[in-house]
Amino acid sequence: MSNNSVFIEKLRSSGLRPTRQRVQICKILFDRQKTFHFSIKDLAKMIANDFSEKVSLATVYNTIHAFKKRGYLKEISINSDKTYFDTNTSNHHHFFNESTNELIDLENNEVGKINIKKKIPGKKIKSVEVLVKIANSN
């Protein structure tokens, strides 16, 4: 369990004022061992449950965007209708469980080297992301 000063520092160090709202959101997002995959809606619900003080939806959006911009979160697109964010900002991949709509991390070292044979002249590769869709075996 981190104490708030860790998050206050984190925020300050990237030029964000450590407001109550931002610190609260940090606690939910980053005070955990495992990767966290969430939608804005999920997060808003958790804030409502975890804290007595209300945080407006606009602030949730603002904060998530600020965090994404600073590299604290990654955005993941599965289907157009679902936007998830991921606290794991390393280079990695995902399983998407179609039976449950659940996302599972797939670390870089859990996927063999990916050889992109086609080259696009004048372009360089920024990232290679794999999405593995899975479902119940039967």
Q: Name the site residues for its own copies (rule: CB under 8 A).
A: 75, 77-80, 82-83, 95, 97-99, 104, 106-107, 109-118, 120, 122-137
Q: How far is CA 14 from CA 54, 70, 91, 109, in A?
A: 25, 7, 21, 30
**What span, in angstroms and rounded, lies between the C-alpha atoms of 91 and 129?**
8
**Contact partners, residue 130, CB within 8 Å, separation at least 6:** 93, 94, 106, 111, 114
What is the widest separation between alpha-carbon atoms in the chain? 55
What phi and psi values does residue 36 have, to the nearest 5 degrees?
A: -125, 125
What 3-state DSSP class applies to 113?
Answer: coil
Under rule CB under 7 A, residue 5 binds DNA: no
Out of 12, 32, 45, 69, the residue judged to bind DNA by CB under 7 A: 12
Under rule CB under 7 A, residue 19 binds DNA: yes
What phi and psi values does residue 100 have, to the nearest 5 degrees?
A: -120, -5
Residue 61 interacting entry, from its own copies, DNA, none, C-beta within 5 to 8 Å by type: DNA
Out of 54, 100, 107, 114, the residue judged to bind DNA by CB under 7 A: 54
Least Å distance, CB 65 to DNA, is: 6
Whichever of 5 and 91 has its CB closer to its own copies, that residue is: 91
Under rule CB under 7 A, residue 55 binds DNA: yes
Under rule CB under 7 A, residue 89 binds DNA: no
Least Å distance, CB 36 to its own copies, is: 18
Q: How many CB atoms are located within 10 Å of the residue 82 CB?
A: 12
Binding positions for DNA, rule: CB under 7 A: 12, 15-22, 39-41, 53-59, 61-63, 65, 80-81, 83
